[in-house]
Amino acid sequence: MTEENKHCYIKEGKLALPYQYFAGRIGSKFLVSLRDKKKILGVKCEKCGKVFIPPRKTCERCFEDISEKWVELSNEGEVTNFTVVRTDDKHHPRKAPYVLAMIKLGGADTPIAHILDGVDPDSVKIGMKVKAVFADKAVNTMLQIDRFEPVK
């Protein structure tokens, strides 16, 4: 501590920021399908042909209403990118080390982020084939897909 900042006081603060996040009718239909039918749905823009997951009301490029253009996606896909989480934290869903991967499902044009289990973190590769494993209980979030695992 230098002489200049010796008597510079700081008031500590902490904020609680409660909020809700609404899935909306379209997002909710996706979650219900995951939970009740173990089917992963996307929406397709018929103008540009892109299939989006998570689903959305509008194609942001074409500005088309695609909210009713549901398509069923494969439960399998490939890793387009990944990171290895190597630190433990109470908010993390797994004990370190574990893999968070971007996974592009068969039939989709956009990848989703999810947990990739059942593989040594050091042997994960981009392009690796993986499949969804669904949760046994109702979760009603993206963790209705409990995890992805490599296709054996």
Partner 1 sequence: MKKHKKNRNVAIVGIGQTHHSSHREDVNQPEMIHEAVELALKDAGIGIEDVDALVHGNMELFEMVHQPDLWHVIGTGGYGKACYRVTTGGTTGATIVGVGDNIVASGLHDIVMIIGFEKQQEGHTTGGITNMADPLWARNLQTGALTGATAEKTINEFGADRAKRAAMRLRVTLDKHASLNPHAHRNFGLDYDQIDDLMVNSPQLVGELRLIHMCSQSDGAVAIILACEEKAKKISKKPVWIRDHVTVHREETFNMFGINENQEVTHHNAARKLFGRNGITNPREYFDVFEMYDPSSWWGLDWLREFLQLEGDEHLKMVENDEVSINGSFPLNPSGGVISTNPIGATAALRVAEAALQVRGDAGAHQIPREVKHALASGFGGTFWTVLFMLEKDLDWQEAE
- Single residue of 24, 93, 97, 118 touching partner 1 by CB under 8 A: 24
Residue 7 in the binding site for partner 1 (CB under 8 A): no
Residue 11 in the binding site for partner 1 (CB under 8 A): yes
Residue 17 in the binding site for partner 1 (CB under 8 A): yes
In terms of CB distance, is 79 or 112 closer to partner 1? 112
In terms of CB distance, is 18 or 127 closer to partner 1? 18
Residue 152 in the binding site for partner 1 (CB under 8 A): no
Give the separation between CA 101 and CA 99, rounded to whole angstroms: 6
- The DSSP element (H or E) to which 104 belongs, if any, is strand 98-105
Chain residues 95-114 in contact with partner 1, contact rule CB under 8 A = none
Cα–Cα distances in angstroms (integers) from residue 67 to residues 47, 105, 131, in the given order? 13, 19, 26
Give the separation between CA 76 and CA 148, rounded to whole angstroms: 9
Q: What are 79's two structure tokens?
A: 């890793």
For residue 5, what are the β-bridge partners? none
List interacting residues with partner 1 (CB under 8 A): 11, 13, 15-27, 56-58, 60-61, 63
